[in-house]
Chains A and B, each alone.
Chain A
Amino acid sequence: MVTQSSLLPLVVVGLPLIGSGVVAYSARWGSRVRAGVANLISLVTLFLTVWQFILVQSGQILVYTLDWYVGFGLYWQVDFLSAVFVVIVALVWFLSTLFAVEYMAHEQQQTRFFVASIFTLGSTLGVFLAGDLLSFFLFFELMTFAAYLLVIHEESPEALKAGNVYLFMSVIGGLFLLGSMFFIQHIVGNTAFAPVLEQLVAAGLNPWWLFVVVILGFGVKAGMLPLHIWLPKAHPVAPAPASALLSALMIKTGAYGFLRFFYVLFSVAPGSELFYLQEAFGYMIIWIGAITMLGGALMALIHTPMKRILAYSSISQMGYILFSMGVGVMLGPDGAWGFAGAWMHMINHAFFKSFLFFLAGSVYLQTGELDLDRLGGLRKQMPVAFLFFLVAAAGITGVPGFNGYVSKIMIHDAILHAFELKGWASLLWLERVFVFTGGLTAAYISKIWIKTFLGKPQQDWSHIRDLSLGHRVVFGVYTLILLSIGLGAQAQVNQLVLPALGITSFNPVDVHYLQHIPFWDSHELQGPLISYAIAGATLLVQFLFGPYLNVPRWLSVEVLVYRPLYRGAKGFFQLLDTIALKLQRCFDRRHNRA
């Protein structure tokens, strides 16, 4: 690896940030020019990121420093991890902008949407290219605030409410992150991505506090249970192109933060006394991931608005990523499989989730309807959308030959590998949770598919047309991506995952295994069958007993935890305010007498 100073990452981040201003200015020449400029900027950004990827693939690490920024410096550092994900961000963003041209044509405030979208692109790229925590934090916050404009785009009371929850939870998450940065900067003297845990513990900090602070800092953005409550509110109310970006890419900044923290900042050399900490952190993360994926999937199953199901699905899929990441952290140098699974799933989820949100958007564009109970029978009117939905569903549920299969196999192998090494029975149970969640995933995706495209039409769909040519092209690109990862599984793993293992040092035996994953082994191929069997059983149960399985409204963290907290704080503030008012009245009486 050669460290090479390069302006490229600065340009990659700066182009969309400044370009958003150009988009705003171009609006005066009409909507076509504006859309053209937005597309051009995201396309050029895509080319630049690909160029950057090629440079990094040839063994360079690109760095750039603006050392005057706030007296502490702004750092860009592009290693393989950053370079890969940045290409994915730029690619999905470009497809989203392309998709948005038609989708947004009838919406209000289109200029604001495109400007905010392109600005958010720049800040999201900045998050992945940041070379230290301070720079990371800068772009993280910029992204939070810029994406707020996407969330509340409709300006309906519902959207504003969702936007508030999103904004305040994000701000709280950001402050936890800032808190951890205070301590790291103070004790270490910089916030670079380098192992710091030993220094922090030596300085007298309680490592478990640090763990909690970091988990809370990134957990909000990553949609981790029980910090997820903003996500199923905020993602569905945004326009579909933005929902796709929020769900597919922006929540990944949380996962990426976890990757950097737990594989780099909090990693400990295996011989060290503190290795038990890394192991414990990893084990906790596996559990958090398991709870998140199961909880998200269950909630996805009981809802009927399509985009809300997809949002809960994102929570569940983030659970997969955390789960696998936890395995890798727990095993330390033997954790290559877990890391590889998490990384591959981050990439795959970015594609199939944005694909699904775009499809939901297409259905909405034609029917004006997103609730599954009021859709149905669209197969005849939208045959092409029907087929594309099958492709996306195959991707997320892990049908062999599509991309989800690849990462699910890797995660499954990782947890079994952990069980082999550790022999803890709990790990075997966690494996079962994983398999069961896979089944639930297939169930809720099938539910969307069945209730939207099959069955009897609930309304008169005769005026409905199928996908436009532009959208067919976008979805065609997605199909190609899903299939190329799914069919060329080993080649993609070799190309996208193995170089990323350089983030920390892994055992070569495991790396060797990753070069020869038995994707087409009959044992592995059983996985999807089990998933679909569980899905079938689940749907049957829901169909037969659904009306009796009402989940009470109070059974949610929002009602049980967040609202009492909010009311408590409000009550306390009101009490203080009343006391102050009473004192003021005393003064007034005196003044009137005087």
Chain B
Amino acid sequence: MSILPFLIIFIPIIGGLLTMALKLEDKTRDYFVLAVTVITEFLVLFLYTILKDSTVVVLEYSRMLPPFGISFRIDWLSVVLVTIASTIWLLVTIYSFDYIKPSKNINRYHGFTLITLGATLGTLLAGDLVSLFLFFELMSFASYVLVIHEGDPQAMRAGFLYLIMTIGGGLAFLFGVMAVYQMTGTVSFTAGGFLASDSALSLGAFFGFLIGFGMKAGMFPLHVWLPEAHPVAPSPSSALLSGVMLKIGAFGLLRIIFNVYQFQFLKEVGWINYLLIAAILTILLGSVFAIMQTNLKRRLAYSSVAQMGYILLGMALLSEQALVGDVFHIFTHAIMKSCLFLVSGSMILLTGKTEIEDFKGIGKRMPISMACFTMASLSMIGIPPFNGFLSKWLLGLGALEVNQPLSAIVLLVSSLLNAVYYLPIVINAFFKQEEHDFSNITDPSPKMLIPVVVLAIATVFFDIIPVNVLLNLSEVTAATLFGGGLGL
């Protein structure tokens, strides 16, 4: 069993390398890529059998990469996130086959998507800071190739910005790792944390982590690469970048807050407030900038910034209820945002337009796609009975629980701002007169439509089903992070 994490990580990475090396025929390659993704998804589900009756399993391989060795930590947080990542990846991969067809360098695209999958899963399963750093950097550099896939000057420029910020963030993270090792002599994650030292070095390390992961999570003011890089990538990659990879930043911070530092300590010395303030600014400014965007994918990208603000806020509150909402929002946002990016991908691919104003009347031509877009948008705003409402409700209650009514008010204000930038897209698409000739445009092929429909149904499904798996998983995750028992 102990080989499982290796399989999960290296099957996609080797699969990706093979995709590029073998130069298979188009159809065979597509089946091969799909097979690798499906196998990975199955292996991920096997993790639940490992975790069946314990809260955490740590696997250490000290022979590899001395002096630290590689280790994996399989607990509810990582299993939950690995599941969402691989599931979204599978759906996006199915979508991407038809989407990427007209493009060049298809082998490179699929190869690096698979490598990024392996690296992402590795980051999530890592059991210590050094392993985490390793996979984190691999993921960042592999996804660079996805960002610049189109190869035009705009993409290269965005890619350059992404690269320098990633390197800067990586260095800050590395500084944090070194400082933690210097202070404690260990880098392995521990339940309840192992660091509670109120020294300048400790604060410096905390800031290092904050910058490294905050950059990845699109935290203000380190978000600047995000609205440049996400829109220029091919839409399936945008969906993965926004839907899954941003969450890695949030995941990293969760590990830092709960498994490196002792969260009680962070609360006592007030360092967590830096994150709280950054989160509130991220929510508000992300939304404001999203309103000002006229380009569809840029607006979605800024919306991701704002939504990551929710997630950062949820962990900065340090309340168990807020953390349930937080983990649930990681799920919810992954579902909603990948749905939105995939639909906008279809719209852009079929019409060749990118501005929101250009999509007037497209809803009547692509009713199913736009209906899915509408559902995801309503979920974003937080209208019941969509998932977004549940996460907002839990986050708001969590904010009040720790006596932070201001944060609850920020959530409400940002819901309004969400409405201001999402509803016009929907209204434009469905009810305005067509300006461009869309007469030969219809909903895309089933391969591109089914993943979108599945995601759209999921935006309402996980609010109204009797046995809410995602909510239960979020509760268990939050409980284990807070050191409580297993209550599934």
Contacts and interface: CB of A to CB of B under 8 A. Distances in A.
Contact of B432 (A141, A160, A179): A160
B289 interface: yes
Interface string A156-172: 00001001100110011
Contacts of A588: 157
Interface in A157-197: 160, 163-164, 167-168, 171-172, 175, 178-179, 182-183, 185-186
B427 interface: yes
Candidate in A137, A171, A182, A583 with the most chain B CB atoms within 10 angstroms: A182
B292 A171 contact: no
Nearest to A587: B161
B106 interface: no
A545 interface: no
Contacts of B161: 587, 591
Interface string B367-395: 00000000000100101110001100100
A357 to B, nearest CB: 23
B60 interface: no
B291 A573 contact: yes
A186 B398 CA distance: 9
B390 A70 contact: yes
B316 interface: no
A577 interface: yes
A175 B289 contact: no
Contact of A182 (B384, B397, B420): B397
A577 B427 contact: no
A68 B469 CA distance: 12
Given A69-B464, A71-B471, A573 B384 contact: no
A570 to B, nearest CB: 9
B396 interface: yes
B468 A68 contact: yes
Contacts of A72: 393
Interface in B396-427: 396-397, 400-401, 405, 408-409, 412, 415-416, 419-420, 423, 427
A141 B419 CA distance: 13
B384 A138 contact: yes
Contact of B157 (A68, A141, A172, A591): A591
A547 to B, nearest CB: 38
Interface of B is mostly: helix
B282 to A, nearest CB: 14
A151 to B, nearest CB: 11
B396 A171 contact: no
B272 to A, nearest CB: 21
Contacts of B288: 573, 576-577
B6 interface: no
A182 B400 contact: yes
Contacts of A584: 224
A145 B194 CA distance: 50
Nearest to B409: A179
Contacts of A138: 384-385
A580 interface: yes
Interface size class of B (residues with CB under 8 A): 35 or more
Interface string B469-482: 00100000000000
B33 interface: no
B31 interface: no
A577 B292 CA distance: 7
Interface of A is mostly: helix
A20 to B, nearest CB: 14
Nearest to B393: A70
A152 interface: yes
A574 B289 CA distance: 9
A155 interface: yes
Contacts of B115: none
Given A160-B432, A573-B292, A175 B385 contact: no
A575 B13 CA distance: 46
Interface size class of A (residues with CB under 8 A): 35 or more
B159 to A, nearest CB: 11
A353 B390 CA distance: 37
Given A152-B431, A182-B408, A591-B157, A71 B468 contact: yes
Contact of B427 (A137, A164, A178): A164
Contacts of B419: 167-168, 171
A183 B289 contact: no
B66 interface: no
A172 B416 contact: yes
B160 A591 contact: yes
A135 B409 CA distance: 21
B102 interface: no
A580 B289 contact: yes
Contacts of B389: 70
B431 A186 contact: no
A50 interface: no
Contacts of A155: 431-433
Candidate in B224, B412, B466, B468 with the most chain A CB atoms within 10 angstroms: B412
A142 interface: yes
Contacts of A167: 419, 423
A163 B427 contact: yes
A175 B413 CA distance: 8
Given A69-B464, A160-B432, A574-B292, A142 B157 contact: no
Contact of B285 (A171, A183, A186, A576): A576
Contacts of B75: none
A141 B388 CA distance: 14
A137 B400 contact: no
B463 interface: yes
A104 B471 CA distance: 44
B400 A179 contact: no
A186 B427 contact: no
Contacts of B384: 70, 137-138, 141-142
Enumerate the 4 nearest inter-chain pairs by beta-carbon distance, A residue then B residue, closest first: A186-B400, A577-B292, A138-B384, A68-B466
Given A155-B433, A574-B292, 9 more contacts: A68-B468, A138-B385, A141-B383, A155-B431, A160-B427, A168-B416, A178-B396, A576-B288, A583-B224
23 contacts: A68-B465, A70-B384, A70-B393, A70-B464, A71-B468, A137-B384, A142-B385, A155-B433, A160-B427, A160-B431, A163-B431, A171-B381, A175-B412, A175-B415, A178-B415, A179-B408, A182-B397, A183-B400, A183-B405, A186-B401, A576-B288, A576-B289, A587-B161
